[in-house]
Amino acid sequence: MRVNRATRIAAIEATAPDLLAYFKRRLPAEDAADAVGDVLTVAWRRIDQMPEDAHGSRLWLFGVARRILLQSFRSATRQTELTARLRALAVESSAPADAGLAVRDALDRLTEEHAEVLRLVHWDGFTLTDAARHLGIGDSTVRSRYHRAKAALRAELGLHVG
């Protein structure tokens, strides 16, 4: 039992920085560390339920993170605060950051399903298969959603490919 617990703890420690990055992209900076703390609390309480392999543990932890994130999004004021902060940063930033803001704004205009699959693949480094597992949908569903999401993002950004 100790070896399994040690393996799981190592997986938690290895995934924690990625979880922090995951939350920093989706929550105000001051809330990101608290959200990671919530994930770690759940992981510690349910450590015996975590998959034993590192990859499975990572997906399990991101599943917990997603549920915590969804809880935090129930408050519309947090979303409003995040948008206001991003807009304030755009005024102070340089042109490359403005491009990043344009992408974030375009993502905000997409459906939540499209935006989430793009974030998982391009920001969190998930494969389409891992994104499908994380979202609880089939591989073919996530592939078609991903392609539609890319097309919708291009349209929002005014990019014409063809």
Domain ranges of the chain: 1-74, 110-162
Fold agreement between 1-74 and 110-162: no
Fold (CATH) for 1-74 = Rna Polymerase Sigma Factor; Chain: A (1.10.1740)
Locate tokens 């070896």: which residue?
Answer: 3
Report the predicted TM-score, pTM, of the whole model to 2 decimal places. Answer: 0.57
pLDDT score, position 98: 60
Q: Buried (b) or exposed (e) across 114-151, using 16+ Cβ within 10 A? A: bbbbbbbbeebebebebbbbbbeeeeeebeebbeebbe
The CATH number of 110-162 is 1.10.10.10
Task: Give me the residues of the chain with pLDDT under 50, please.
Answer: 1, 76, 78
Two structure tokens written together for 25: 């992209």
Q: Which long-range contacts (CB under 8 A, 24 or more apart) does 81-85 make?
A: 81/28, 82/27, 82/28, 83/108, 85/28
